[in-house]
Amino acid sequence: MNRCLRTVFALVPLTIASLLNAQSPAQLTIHANQPLHAVSPTLYGLMTEEINYSYDGGLYAEMVRNRTLRDGGWEQQDWTLVQNSAAGAAMSVDKTSGPSAALTNSLKLTVMTASPESPAGVRNNGFWGYALRPDTTYSGSLFAKADTSALGALTVSLVNNVTGKAVASTTIPAMGADWKRYSFTLKTGAIEPSAANHLELTVAHSGTLWMTLVSVFPPTYRNRPNGNRIDLMEKMAAMHPQFLRFPGGNYLEGNRLADWYDWKKTIGPLVDRPTHPSPWSYHSSDGLGLLEFFEWCEDLHMKPVLAVYAGYALQHEYIAPGKELAPYVQDALDEIEYATGGPDTKWGAERVRDGHPAPFAVPYVEIGNEDEFDKSGSYDGRFAQFYDALKAKYPSIQLIATTPVKSRKPDVLDDHYYKSAEEFFADTHHYDKADRNGPKIFVGEYATMEGTPTSDFGAALGDAAWLTGLERNSDLVVMASYAPMFVNVNPGGMQWHPDLIGYDGLSSYGSPSYYALALFAGHIGDTVPTSTLSGAGPRVFYSVTERHSDGKLFLKLVNAGPQAQSVSIRVDGAALHGAAQLIRLHAATPAATNTLEHPRQIVPVTTPVTFSGAMLMHSIPGNSIEVLEIPTR
Ligand code: AHR
């Protein structure tokens, strides 16, 4: 046989096999009357931390960057001098004068020459500008003092970078010699939405002025003072989150022991919050502090998963269990009391003073973050010390360990997975055979590592495939959260990719993974019924859950291959009623994605589907993530 013929014959069986495969549908049977186990009601939630300008320059709606003059590296870019024509002024950071023991830095402005025609002052460039909208009221404040009343009034303006003209302006009357808080509002008129703006604070006479905690807020979610960006809160709400893990991962730990997340410095009036260095290369304002995390949970009806500092820093330093660790254990007890305690408790009373009389429920407390990196082995002892103290005072709180320990049996173990799509496809059975007598599992961080700044469709396929495995094992896996959630896509905003939700000052968008997660979380039952799948290709993944309250089956299908997969779906043990619907997230290629400029290239599309009796012949296009919602009553 010549070489060509041999090749033809060699190809024949393959071609026939693939033809057969294409023609014979996979068989998926759901036994709706045979429950396997309950679905964790808290399966889908959120993980958050200060990374990628998630809080400052992100969710936390403050527009003034470096408002307390603590972010050394950025000083010159955040704050610059305004000197019009003849005006002469100098600016420096005064580290000896501030309005409180916590805020000892201020911006010192010395004006040598200025006049009403030629004012002098400073400008703040904001987080990549000030994103302003028409007919909007911005609420502001600052702490200030002056060496002479001759300095006159302070003019506060939002100024367009291109025209140099104020789009909103107000004045603060002459300031006194002592630190005082001044508040103001700025209202825009008929402007085009734009981030090309800055804030100016100017005077028309010579003298010296000190300022700090300069603040400007746009309208916030639920109009909370010191609150959150509306679009980002709405994006999270659409994910149907059941919990929020906070305040972060590495952010909780800090680079060095001294940089630990000291929650007591993040509560109370902003003027009493000293701010702190965070491990992701920029300083944290702590405007979004402990109480604000709980209020965020309250606003989105999420259960708090409170992570407490456990004596380990990213540079591998640790606090030895025993006497040295005891103050940190006490701190965690105080933290829980701050959240849950009544007005008759020391820290509960502090929360009441901070403006939140009602206590918060704290069902989960996580002790540390990723303590598997502590190669000293101290975590076993550290965990035990926290566990004993917390369980003794709060026996009903579920305690989460960040890595397996022998000293105690944690209620829950936090597993993290950052993998390629291929690795997730190969690992969807990860928990199928896992020990059901050990701790429950919290997949506290996971992400398919594809796409930048936000995940692409290939990543969404990896994430969705992985989630089918978590749903199937949701008797064991009680919670799961993607990380990181947010990224400011402006230049220099990102420290980690991929992320779930991208934004600049004006707008935000969800990645394909965002839509996949929202779709999965929004269509979840309370029970996993028995089901079987045969004859499907290796890149087809599925999970089924059933909701009894309103009689619905949710079948999730992921086809991560390029070819369509036909599947014959049969539902046994339930009468199907009414119209089923198919919600599909699809892209032409795994590299396809959403961006700030094209935010809705890949979004779920809903179509009706009709079962014939208990059967549906269905074709899942290649590169697709689907939910079939099937009414059973
Ligand atoms: O999500 C980003 C980082 O990944 C978290 O801070 C940390 O917990 C993990 O290593």
Q: What would the mean pLDDT of 67-93 be, rounded to a whole number?
A: 85
Count how many Cα atoms sit within 13 Å of the Cα of residue 521 in the half-sphere of its side chain: 24
- Prior bond of 247 cis (ω within 30°): yes
**516 C-alpha vs ligand 1 centroid, how far in Å?**
21
pLDDT tens figures, 506-535: 999 999 999 999 999 999 999 999 999 999
Determine the Cα–Cα distance for residues 628 and 633; give it in Å rounded to an integer. 15
Token output for 75: 């000083």
Which range, of 228-237, 442-451, 460-469, 569-578, averages the lowest pLDDT?
569-578
Domain boundaries defined on the chain: 24-37+525-631, 74-217, 242-410
Q: State the average pLDDT for the chain.
A: 95
Q: How many CB atoms lie within 10 A of CB 499?
A: 29
Q: Strands 197-203 and 207-217: what pairing? A: unpaired
Smallest CA separation from ligand 1 atom 7, residue:
249
pLDDT tops 60 at residue 7: no
With contact defined as beta carbons under 8 Å apart, do 65 and 126 qualify?
Answer: yes
Q: Where are the strands (E) in 278-345, listed by range?
A: 283-284, 303-308
Percent of the chain residues past pLDDT 70, beyond the cut: 96
**Pocket flag, ligand 1, residue 49 (CB < 6 Å):** yes
| Model confidence band, residue 73 (pLDDT cutoffs 50, 70, 90) | low
Sign of CA dihedral 413, 416, 421, 427: negative
**Pocket flag, ligand 1, residue 471 (CB < 6 Å):** no
Q: Hey, which of 280, 370, 487, 501 would you mutate to test ligand 1's pocket, going by the most ligand atoms within 8 Å of its Cβ?
A: 370
Q: What would the mean pLDDT of 196-218 be, rounded to a whole number?
A: 97
Q: What would the mean pLDDT of 467-493 be, rounded to a whole number?
A: 98
DSSP 56: B
**Pocket flag, ligand 1, residue 369 (CB < 6 Å):** yes
Can you list the alpha helix ranges (DSSP code H) found in 528-629? none
pLDDT tens figures, 392-448: 999 999 999 999 999 999 999 999 999 999 999 999 999 999 999 999 999 999 999
**Pocket flag, ligand 1, residue 417 (CB < 6 Å):** no
What is the position in ligand 1's atom list of the atom closest to the CA of 496? 2
Comparing C-alpha atoms, which of 514, 512, 522 is closest to residue 456?
A: 512
**Pocket flag, ligand 1, residue 484 (CB < 6 Å):** yes
In this predicted structure, what is the pLDDT of residue 23? 55
| Domain 242-410 in the same topology as domain 24-37+525-631 | no
Which range, of 68-77, 115-124, 310-319, 449-458, averages the lowest pLDDT?
68-77
pLDDT tens figures, 408-418: 999 999 999 99
pLDDT tens figures, 157-199: 999 999 999 999 999 999 999 999 999 999 999 999 999 999 9
pLDDT tops 90 at residue 373: yes
**Pocket flag, ligand 1, residue 280 (CB < 6 Å):** no
In this predicted structure, what is the pLDDT of residue 460? 98
Walk across the sheet containing 197-203 and list its strands: 79-83, 120-124, 197-203, 154-160, 166-172
Determine the Cα–Cα distance for residues 132 and 234; give it in Å rounded to an integer. 19
**Pocket flag, ligand 1, residue 371 (CB < 6 Å):** no
Measure CA 239 to chain center: 11
**Pocket flag, ligand 1, residue 368 (CB < 6 Å):** no
The whole-model pTM stands at 0.95
With contact defined as beta carbons under 8 Å apart, do 224 and 24 qualify?
Answer: no
pLDDT tops 70 at residue 18: no
Q: Hey, which of 312, 496, 497, 501 would you mutate to test ligand 1's pocket, going by the most ligand atoms within 8 Å of its Cβ?
A: 496
What is the position in ligand 1's atom list of the atom closest to the CA of 250? 6
In this predicted structure, what is the pLDDT of residue 14? 38
In this predicted structure, what is the pLDDT of residue 633? 83
pLDDT tops 70 at residue 1: no
**Pocket flag, ligand 1, residue 496 (CB < 6 Å):** yes
Residue-level length of the chain: 633
Comparing C-alpha atoms, which of 45, 50, 44, 58 is closest to residue 484?
A: 50
Determine the Cα–Cα distance for residues 308 and 121; give it in Å rounded to an integer. 43
pLDDT tops 90 at residue 369: yes
CATH topology of domain 24-37+525-631: Immunoglobulin-like (2.60.40)
Determine the Cα–Cα distance for residues 555 and 311; give it in Å rounded to an integer. 44
| Model confidence band, residue 75 (pLDDT cutoffs 50, 70, 90) | low
Q: What is the DSSP string of 109-164?
A: EEEEE--SSS-EEEEE-BTTB--B-TT-EEEEEEEEEES-GGG-PEEEEEEETTT-
What is the position in ligand 1's atom list of the atom closest to the CA of 483? 1
pLDDT tens figures, 306-360: 999 999 999 999 999 999 999 999 999 999 999 999 999 999 999 999 999 999 9
In CATH, 242-410 is 3.30.70.270:
no
CATH topology of domain 74-217: Jelly Rolls (2.60.120)
